[in-house]
Chain A
């Protein structure tokens, strides 16, 4: 399929939720890697009116993605009044508020993106819910700073079957979706064990601020929640958890090692550290060993090997698929962050079609719950 031919398929999940899936995998078994780069996402005709709360690094990115996709950001809100002065002069057509309530009441949107620090999520969801009990909400990850925090956000956020989503954008990156399909196909046979890590050199000295302190910070919540989400997506929640962690440069945990045991016998291992000395560009890796083969995935590629297979999507033998070859461009690129654009596109399509999105607040709460089991707060 050419880039201009955009398709969407609906997959009915076992729990009855109708969810859009991205058709980014069909290329694998029939495409010449250089010539056919399948498209993800949808063609959309209508515009969703969105408001963004929090215009820090993530908020500005979402602003760009949403507008670039052809939707309309009708107002933004941030506590920092200086940003308002700046925005008025640089983007004069975009109203700025320093109060979410004032913004929501004076300009009711069709969807809200909350891109503030995790410790503020609960209060902001409460504020939004007090005005709109069912407006769709996209919340940047992690959902909350603890399992109890997340649980309260879920309680407030899922009233009236609200459409919700949490920003675990790696689910929208080709190699991780490939692995999901591979696992669901059963071609690996009985899963034996996996090892995984998320490593970077991002924190290389004494660091202060909410990301690096106690309850609301640490490598698990701030960084490796992406890995935790992928592991839950792939394997569910483990039956038992054992862990070790230490602080190196911050007051929170900078290094964590955990082992998981699942019902059925699967074993798993997770390492997370943002203070490595030899990872100037971060790396997320998951390798899964099964009876019939293995799969190894990073942001850049997926490699799998199967002794035998009757599934045409996943032939036997050893295969490698590179993200750059198989992940097509979204309709708008900002800084090369394709999966974030696909993520926002997906959420806004769910809003238009009034279907549930994934990963939603419940998925986010599962991540917080497992993080608390690894690193009690």
Chain B
């Protein structure tokens, strides 16, 4: 199986979705102000400044997909979809009305494909009795939907498991769930499995103990000089990098939710030689231009830097 390269510069959609790790007030303001058109303009700026990847949740990105197609970027963009494709909807149902409501949302999502309707007729009872089969079906349906809804011609570079699922599975020791996910993405769909986690050492140790081979897997995880959102510590996360071999690290929270300048962030990332991809969020055109241009420059300089021999 040949997997495409991971893009160096990936645009994330947190600012468009009201996610802000620094301030909920800022998140609220952005959510109230964002429109498809304003998000597309930020997208323009990011692509012009070097972004070639797009990380997203399917359910909140449909309108943006149309903008991408209108602008003929499909062939330039690598896609990094998150699973679940509608984490927000599942969480809202779960928090307000519990497991049954979330299960209904999950099952409704599966019905998108006619052939699964017969399979899931047992509803909640079927789901709770066959969670691993439900997971495989869910992946199939979500990737099927993505094929229909995502910009035509844009390749999927990695499928990323949401941090809530990844980190909760690690905490609970849900080995079979992670193994099932990993193998189904890799073997059935011939795609690169990926994970989002804010507990990198715990996640890596869990995979080692569970027999999940992270070779070529994409791991999206915070890296910044402040240790922001890096659990249990910056030092532990930096230390574990050495054991990751051929895993593909995609750094997030590199600006520590705006506490760092792009220059400070890029300096740190360049020193971490195993990190050669970053996923950045941007809420304004200026922010997109500055951040992506800086990292493009930094990665380019790192490649061009002369090799010194002692």
Binding site for B on A (CB under 8 A): 2-4, 34-35, 37, 56-57, 60, 63-65, 67-68, 80, 82-83, 85-86, 89-94, 202, 207, 209, 211, 278-283, 298-301, 322, 324-325, 328-336
Check B232–A331 contact: CB distance below 8 A. yes
In the complex, what's the smallest C-beta–C-beta distance from A147 to chain B, in angstroms?
26
Residues from chain A with Cβ under 8 Å of B1 in the complex: none
- Using a CB–CB distance below 8 Å, which chain B residues touch chain A? 18, 21-28, 31-32, 94-100, 124-125, 127-132, 163-164, 167-168, 170-174, 176-177, 198-199, 202, 226-235, 256-257, 259-260
Report the nearest A residue to B95, measured CB to CB. Answer: A57
Residues on the B chain within 8 Å of A91, using CB: 172-174
| Neighbouring B residues of A94 by C-beta, 8 Å | 172-173
Q: B32 → chain A, closest Cβ, in Å?
A: 7
Nearest Cβ in chain A — how far from B221, in angstroms? 11
- Is A332 in contact with B202, judged by CB distance below 8 angstroms? yes
Q: How far is the CA of A63 from the CA of B167 in the complex (A)?
A: 12
What B residues does A63 contact at CB under 8 A? 168, 171-172
Query: Which of A67, A68, A92, A278 has its CB near the most chain B CB atoms (within 10 A)?
Result: A68
Decide: A68 near B235, CB < 8 A? Known: A57-B98, A329-B229: no
| A288 → B minimal CB distance (Å) | 19
User: Are A3 and B22 within 8 A (Cβ)?
Assistant: no
For A280, give its contact among B28, B95, B177, B226 (CB under 8 Å).
B28
The reply to whether B171 and A93 form a contact with Cβ atoms under 8 Å apart is: no
Q: Are B99 and A332 in contact (CB under 8 A)?
A: no
In the complex, which residues of chain B have a beta carbon less than 8 angstroms from the beta carbon of A335?
163-164, 167
Q: Which residues of A contact B231 (CB under 8 A)?
A: 329-333
* Nearest CB of chain A from residue B19's CB, rounded to whole Å: 9
CA distance A44 to B45 in the complex (A): 48
Q: Evaluate whether A67 and B171 lie within 8 angstroms (CB atoms) in the complex, with A82-B125, A281-B24, A281-B31 already known.
A: yes
Decide: B172 and A300 in contact? CB cutoff 8 A.
no
CB distance from B258 to the nearest CB of A (A): 8
Flag if B128 contacts A57 (CB, 8 Å). Answer: no
Residue ID in chain A nearest B102 by CB atoms: A57
Contacts of A279 on B, CB cut-off 8 Å? 28
Q: Which of these, B23, B28, B127, contacts A86 with CB under 8 Å?
A: B127
A92 to B24, CA, bound (A): 37
Residues of A with C-beta under 8 A to B130: 89
**By the criterion CB–CB under 8 Å, are B176 and A4 in contact?**
no
Asked if B173 contacts A67 (CB within 8 A), the reply is yes
| Cβ-closest chain B residue relative to A341 | B231
Residues of A within 8 A of B202 (CB): 68, 332
**19 residue pairs bridging A and B, Cβ less than 8 Å apart:** A3-B235, A35-B226, A64-B168, A68-B167, A80-B99, A89-B130, A89-B176, A91-B172, A281-B27, A281-B28, A283-B24, A298-B25, A300-B24, A325-B226, A329-B228, A333-B231, A334-B167, A334-B171, A335-B164
A235 to chain B, nearest CB (A): 24
Q: Is the CB of A56 within 8 A of B235?
A: no
Shortest A93–chain B CB gap in Å is: 6
Q: Is the interface of B mostly helix, strand, loop or mixed?
A: helix
Q: Which residues of chain A have C-beta atoms less than 8 A from B24's C-beta?
A: 281-283, 298-300
Residues of A within 8 A of B94 (CB): 57
Kindly state the separation between the CA atoms of A333 and B236 in the bound complex, as whole angstroms: 14
- Cross-chain contact B234 with A3 (CB below 8 angstroms): yes
Contact of A82 among B23, B128, B232, B234 (CB under 8 A): B128
Q: Are B32 and A336 in contact (CB under 8 A)?
A: no
The residue that A333 contacts in the complex, of B23, B125, B199, with Cβ under 8 A, is B199
The reply to whether A322 and B22 form a contact with Cβ atoms under 8 Å apart is yes
The residue on B at minimum CB distance from A279 is B28
Give the docked Cα–Cα distance between A279 and B132 (Å).
38
- Shortest C-beta distance, A33 to chain B (Å), equals 8
Tell me, rounded to whole Å, the shortest Cβ–Cβ distance linking A51 to chain B. Answer: 14
- Of the candidates A4, A90, A91, A209, the one having the most CB atoms from chain B within 10 angstroms of its own CB is A90
What residues of chain A lie closer than 8 Å to B227, measured between beta carbons?
A: 3, 37, 328-329
Q: Which 6 A-B pairs have the closest CB atoms?
A: A3-B233, A82-B128, A281-B28, A64-B171, A333-B231, A86-B128
Determine which of A89, A300, A325 lies in contact with B25 in the assembled complex, contact meaning CB atoms within 8 Å.
A300
B198 with A64: CB separation less than 8 A: no
Contact of B129 with A85 in the complex, beta carbons under 8 Å: yes
Instruction: Judge whether B99 and A56 touch: CB under 8 Å.
Output: yes
Collect the chain B residues with CB atoms within 8 Å of residue A56's CB.
98-99
Residue of A nearest to B23 (CB): A300
- Return A173 CB to nearest CB of chain B, in Å: 12
- Shortest C-beta distance, B120 to chain A (Å), equals 14
Contacts of B127 in A (CB 8 A): 82, 86
Q: Give the CA-CA distance A374 to B97 in the complex, in Å.
A: 26
Closest CB of chain A to B181's CB: distance in Å? 12
Residue of B nearest to A301 (CB): B23
Contact of A324 among B168, B174, B257 (CB under 8 A): B257
- A336: chain B residues within 8 A (beta carbon): 21, 198, 229
The smallest beta-carbon distance between A257 and chain B, in angstroms, is 22
* Residues from chain A with Cβ under 8 Å of B168 in the complex: 60, 63-64, 334
A sample of 9 more A-B contacts (CB under 8 A), given A37-B226, A86-B129, A279-B28, is A64-B167, A65-B171, A82-B125, A86-B128, A278-B32, A280-B32, A325-B259, A329-B229, A332-B202
Nearest CB of B to A59, in Å: 10
